[in-house]
């Protein structure tokens, strides 16, 4: 008889759960989750917690370079960690390329020492770049 299994001709077929395809799907989902998590961690750059001000406003980042000063005092150029020497070289290259139209955003962590941010600001001005903005976040009324 067609469709019967084994030697019994009138018995019901038992449903079976196939485990192997289920394991394959679970491993695929796990691998996908791990890859996406690793990709997210690579694109973030240094963590900078901007200080809050009441007069903060959105700025257009087009044609601007962002220099970050982390809480540990390290520098990053467009989210790429750099040394002080690299910072000075890139400033000179930016000024040579863009001239007086160069625009720089400095975003310093609220826990960074002021000396690092002052150093960055001073070196930017020494390079001849006059369009310098300090990034902050909006202070929400009622919060401390």
What local confidence, expressed as pLDDT, does residue 91 receive?
Answer: 86
Look at residue 28 and tell me if it is in a domain: no
Q: Which domain holds residue 120?
A: 52-138
Task: Output the pLDDT for position 1.
Answer: 47
72 inside domain: yes
Q: 98: domain CATH number? A: 3.30.420.270
- pLDDT of res. 58: 63
120 falls within a domain: yes
Task: Assess if residue 91 is contained within a domain.
Answer: yes
- Quote the number of domains for the chain: 1
Taking the C-alpha atoms of residue 105 and residue 134, their distance in angstroms, rounded to an integer, is: 6
Q: Is the pTM of this model over 0.75?
A: no
In a domain, 35, yes or no: no
Q: What is the pLDDT of residue 42?
A: 53
8 in a structural domain: no
Closest CA to 87 of 96, 74, 99: 74
Query: How many CA within 13 A on the CB side of residue 109?
Result: 16
Mean pLDDT by 10 residues, the chain (144 residues): 53 84 91 84 57 58 77 83 87 83 79 76 81 66 56
Rounded to 10°, the helix 114-126/84-98 angle is 40
SS3 at position 101? helix
């Amino acid at each position: 008889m067609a469709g019967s299994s084994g030697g019994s001709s009138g018995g019901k077929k038992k449903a079976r759960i196939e485990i192997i395809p289920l394991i394959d799907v679970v491993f695929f989902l796990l691998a996908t989750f791990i890859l996406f998590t690793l990709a997210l961690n690579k694109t973030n750059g240094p963590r900078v917690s901007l200080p809050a001000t009441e007069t903060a406003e959105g700025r257009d980042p087009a044609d601007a370079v962002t220099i970050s000063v982390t809480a540990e005092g390290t520098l990053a150029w467009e989210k790429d960690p750099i040394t002080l020497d690299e910072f000075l070289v890139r400033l000179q290259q930016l000024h040579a390329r863009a001239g007086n139209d160069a625009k720089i955003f400095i975003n310093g962590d609220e826990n960074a020492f002021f000396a690092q941010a002052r150093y960055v600001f001073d070196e930017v001005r020494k390079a001849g770049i006059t369009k310098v903005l300090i990034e902050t976040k909006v202070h929400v009324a009622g919060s401390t």
